[in-house]
Amino acid sequence: MTDYSAIKAELLAKQEELSDRLQETQATEGHEVEEGLDPNAQLWEVSEVRDGLDDEAATELNQVNEALSRLDAGEYGYCKSCGNQIGSARLEAMHYATLCIDCAESAEDNRDLEGFDPDEY
């Protein structure tokens, strides 16, 4: 059995970091709504950039959460699609990979997986 404790520790750290970031962003956004009459247009540009980052962080947090629950369920490291083991090199490069390389490649062909970037490993 593969020991994923190092990956789990990293996932937990990532989870905390992302939650913090999202909470901060949300807190700041709430403030900006109150100050909505501020004529400083730059504020809005910054806010738009942050919205994009926010989405990314939320998506990543979902992936991290999913990976952690798969770890707890003992499903981590197995391909969601075919059930084969995902190579540990691939998991180390992409902690929340849920597909083996073969399935990931065919998913990429189908463009099914939003946000999946096969160039990352």
Contacts with Zn ion, residue ranges (CB under 5 A) = 79, 81-82, 84, 100, 103
Q: Is 7 or 100 the residue whose CB approaches Zn ion more closely?
A: 100
Q: How far apart are CA 101 and CA 117, in angstroms?
A: 12
Nearer to Zn ion, 15 or 81 (CB): 81
Cα(39)–Cα(54) distance, rounded to whole angstroms? 23
Residue 86 Cβ, how far from Zn ion at the closest point, in Å? 8
Least distance CB 101 / Zn ion (angstroms): 8
**DSSP secondary structure letter of residue 115:** T
How far apart are CB 61 and Zn ion at their closest, in Å? Answer: 24
Phi, psi of 82 (to 5 degrees): -110, -10
Closer residue to Zn ion in complex, CB, 7/86: 86
State which amino acid sits at residue 43: L
Q: Which of 69/85 has CB closer to Zn ion?
A: 85
Q: How far is the CB of 113 from Zn ion (least distance, A)?
A: 12
For residue 101, give the nearest of 115, 84, 113, 111 by alpha carbon.
Answer: 84
